[in-house]
Amino acid sequence: MQMRPLGTSGLQIAPIMLGGNVFGWTIDEATSFAVLDAFVDRGGNFIDTADVYSRWAPGHKGGESETIIGAWLARSGKRGRVVLATKVGMDMGEGRKGLKAAYIKESVEASLRRLRTDHIDLYQSHQDDESTPVEETLQAYADLIQAGKVRLAGASNYKGSRLTQAMEAGGKPGLARYATLQPNYNLHSRQEYETDLAPVAAAWGLGVIPYFSLAAGFLTGKYPNREAARGAMREAMVGKYFDPRGERILKALAAVSAETGAAQASISLAWLLARPQIIAPIASVTSVEQLDSLFAAADLNLSAEQLKRLTEASSY
């Protein structure tokens, strides 16, 4: 598994990022610890979470995922083997949201406490805050980088025009510059990223770390049709992908899987890794066994013809 640089930080990352949204939500602490141990022991090192994970779950208030990761770091002693990313800006309730400098500096302290670490390797704006000048946000990140609490800043859920504005402002005296972009991007969800954000990422050399890389499980082949997804916890999230394009994509994935012997999840991630600017797709798992398809993707070399077939099947 070939490591790659993360911005200009000197950090090296594995080409698959482990999504932490499931920790404390769909898997408990013990299972989360097992997944994290297995991921790092097999050579993975890039872990994504957010302060808001998993506020949407009944009885949760946010911070559950960071708390579990922090407990694991304290127990395992593996902080030095991990490139840790978290996010700020989503609604945490009681007016706590956005990207104003004071709120970012307040939130980073809460994340550091939950994560039980003295620094965050990649601190990301979870969504744009149009009520706050991009310069104010980037100055806050610069201050945190100067203080050693953050190493790099990243963006997520931006529109191309606002991301361009942020990139043009970034790097000026006293302002940080975003090093990464975290968009919704996969074989099915292509158009918004490719038409609006990909040109900006290319122009500024942003490392792209797509979320929903497996389209909530749709691209794994776990749900071969809409009926198979009925009653599943993720039915509402998966159901929208069962359109004519989705069916073409599943058919193409099945064909490439038959040719290569690789799991459809691995093929979907390998397709992303072959796209420009992609440095590490994000994928979540709920068991140690599911890590196999993630690691297989990092070493899977699809042929030019197979990549073309997948791209054409998912064309929009």
Model pLDDT for residues 67-92, shown as the tens digit of each residue: 999 999 999 999 999 999 999 999 99
- Is 233's pLDDT higher than 60? no
Tally of CA atoms within 13 A in the half-sphere of 157 that contains its CB: 15
7 close to 152: Cβ distance less than 8 angstroms: yes
CB 182 within 8 A of CB 156: yes
Cβ neighbours for 143, distance < 8 A, ≥ 6 positions apart: 101, 105
At position 270, the amino acid (one-letter code) is A
- Check: CB of residue 48 under 8 Å from CB of residue 19: yes
pLDDT, one tens digit per residue, over 243-278 is 999 999 999 999 999 999 999 999 999 999 999 999
Determine how β-strand 150-156 pairs with β-strand 120-125: parallel
Mean pLDDT of 275-301: 97
How large a percentage of the chain has pLDDT more than 90?
92
Give the model confidence (pLDDT) of 142-182 as tens digits: 999 999 999 999 999 999 999 999 999 999 999 999 999 99
Of the pLDDT bands very low, low, confident and very high (cuts 50, 70, 90), residue 225 is confident
Q: Are 252 and 313 in contact (CB under 8 A)?
A: yes
Query: Tell me, what's the pLDDT at 228?
Result: 73
Select which of 53, 185, 193, 211 is catalytic.
53
Reply yes or no: is the peptide bond before residue 54 cis, omega within 30 of 0.
yes
The yes-or-no verdict on residue 231 having pLDDT over 90 is no
226-260 residues labelled b (16+ CB within 10 A) or e (exposed): eeebeeeeeeeebbebbeebbebbbebbeebbeeb
Segment 32-54 shows an average pLDDT of 98
pLDDT value at position 235?
Answer: 67
123 tagged catalytic = no
The residue among 160, 96, 94, 100 whose CA lies nearest residue 125 is 100
- Ramachandran assignment for 282, one of left (phi > 0), alpha (psi -120 to 50 degrees), beta (any other): beta
Superfamily of 4-182 according to CATH? NADP-dependent oxidoreductase domain (3.20.20.100)
The answer on pLDDT for 230 being more than 60 is yes
Rg for the chain (alpha carbons), in Å? 19
Q: What are phi and psi of 66, to 5 degrees?
A: -60, -40
- What rounded mean pLDDT belongs to the chain? 96
**Tell me, what's the pLDDT at 316?**
96
What are the CA-CA distances from residue 265 to residues 106, 114, 125, 134 (Å)? 38, 31, 28, 36
Q: What are residue 47's DSSP bridge partners?
A: 18, 84
For residues 30-51, average pLDDT: 98
Where in 14-110 does DSSP place strands (E)? 17-19, 46-48, 83-88
The proportion of the chain whose per-residue pLDDT surpasses 70, expressed as a percent, equals 98
pTM here?
Answer: 0.96
pLDDT at 267: 98
List strand residue ranges (DSSP E) for the chain, in order: 4-5, 12-13, 17-19, 46-48, 83-88, 120-125, 150-156, 178-182, 207-208, 282-283
